[in-house]
Amino acid sequence: MLGHTNVELAEFFGIAESTIYEWIKDHPSFAESLQKGREIANMEVVRALHKKAKGYEEQGRHYPPDTAAMIFFLKNRKPEKWQDRREVAVTGNAEDLKALIESKPS
């Protein structure tokens, strides 16, 4: 539930990473446990990021909303609306490009 990678799990158990993949393939319950644990870890991080983005009160102290957390949250949760992207339309053909390059002075 800490969201460890397969490499970290292999190090913890003192085995090769390939053994983790064998266990996942051979033991569906092990694979399911890993998946559930990682989902829990992911949800906890999303909750914490959301909390930081909104701001919160804890033990009588006020933590204001964090702009960077807001941006990160929105770009990853709603990329179609918030992602920084540049769309460039390229028109013409190879002959036009060749003519343009050849017309430039060296």
pLDDT in tens, 40-96: 988 999 999 999 999 999 999 999 999 999 999 899 888 888 888 777 787 878 888
- φ, ψ (nearest 5 deg) of residue 62: -95, 130
Residue 86 domain-assigned (yes or no) = yes
Domain extent, residue 94, equals 6-103
Does 17 map to a domain?
Answer: yes
34 contacts 4 by C-beta, under 8 angstroms: no
In 3-state terms, what secondary structure has residue 56? strand
Considering the domain boundaries, does residue 1 fall inside one?
A: no
Q: What is the pLDDT of residues 1-48, one digit of tens each?
A: 677 889 999 999 999 999 999 999 999 999 999 999 999 988 999 999
**How many structural domains are present in the chain?**
1
pLDDT at 18: 96
**12 within domain boundaries:** yes
The answer to whether residue 25 sits within a structural domain is yes
Element (H, E) at 63: strand 61-63
Does 104 score more than 80 pLDDT?
no
